[in-house]
Homo-oligomer: A and B are copies of this chain.
Amino acid sequence: MDSPRKALVLLSGGIDSTTCTVMACREFGPENVLALSLIYGQKHAKEIAAAREVTKYLGIKDHIIHQLPDIFQGGGSTLIDKDRPNPETTYEELRKSKGVSPTYVPFRNANLLSVATTISLVKGADTIFYGAHAEDARNWAYPDCTPEFNGAMANAIYIGSYMKVRLLTPLQWLTKSEVVALGKKIGTPFELTWSCYNGSEKACGVCPTCMGRLHAFDENGLRDPIDYETIIQPSLQK
C-alpha cells in the first residue's frame, strides 16, 4: 500500500495560518500534517506558543520549530528592530505611504518557504500550505505575499524539488474578513491564535494586525474571543 500523502503547514499561530492548518487537517488528516513554526527574531515570538496550542487542539503530532540565523536584525522592520516601535495605525493607513512597509521583514517569507520545502523533502510531504491573503498583498504591503511572488516561489519550489513539492496558497484571493468567515465555517480555533506584533501579555489592540483582526471579526458580526489591552473603536468589540 502506498503511504498516505503528507502536507506541511507554515504555522505562525495567527488566524490565517491557523485556518490553513485546519484546511490541511480536513484534507490530509491531522496525522499526515506537519506544522512548521520559525523563530526569526520577531518581538512577538510568543506566537510560537499559540502555534503549539493550535497543533495540540487539532491533534497534530509533528510540530517542528527552528531558529533561523540572525539575519533580519537591522533591516528596518518594526517586527524585529528593538529601536523601532510597531506603528499604531491600520494597514489601510500604512498603505497610503509609498515605499517599504515598516512591518516588512526583508524577504522573510522566501526564507520560511525554503526551509519549509527542505523539510517537506526530508519528511516526505508533497504539499505546502502558506496563508498569505489578499490584504497582505494589496498595494504591496508585503511584496512576499503577492500572487506574483507566490507564483514565482511555487515554480521555484516545484522545479527545485524535482517536481515533488507544490505550494498551495488557498487564502490568496480572500480578504481578512473572508478568512475569518471561512475560519468560522471550518472551525478555526480563534481563541488559541495570536496575531499582535507586540509580545505583551494581552494583544495591544492598536498595531496594524490587531486592528485588522478586530475589523475582520466586526465585519462578520463576530466577537474576537481573545483579550485586548486597548480597543480604539469600541464598536469593534462589543
Contacts and interface: CB of A to CB of B under 8 A. Distances in A.
Contact of A117 (B100, B107, B155, B160): B107
Given A75-B122, A140-B162, A162-B140, A157 B66 contact: no
Nearest to A156: B152
Looking at A104, A107, A140, the one whose CB has the most chain B CB atoms below 10 A away is A107
A117 B144 CA distance: 12
User: What copy number does this chain have within its complex?
Assistant: 2
24 contacts: A66-B71, A69-B115, A71-B119, A73-B122, A75-B121, A75-B122, A106-B121, A106-B122, A107-B118, A107-B161, A107-B165, A108-B118, A110-B157, A110-B160, A111-B111, A113-B114, A143-B159, A143-B161, A144-B159, A148-B159, A152-B159, A153-B156, A155-B155, A156-B156
Greatest chain B CB density within 10 A among A73, A162, A165 is at A162
A104 to B, nearest CB: 8
A17 to B, nearest CB: 18
Nearest to A73: B122
Interface residues of A, number: 43
Interface of A: 66-75, 99-100, 104, 106-111, 113-115, 117-119, 121-122, 140, 143-144, 146, 148-149, 152-153, 155-157, 159-162, 165
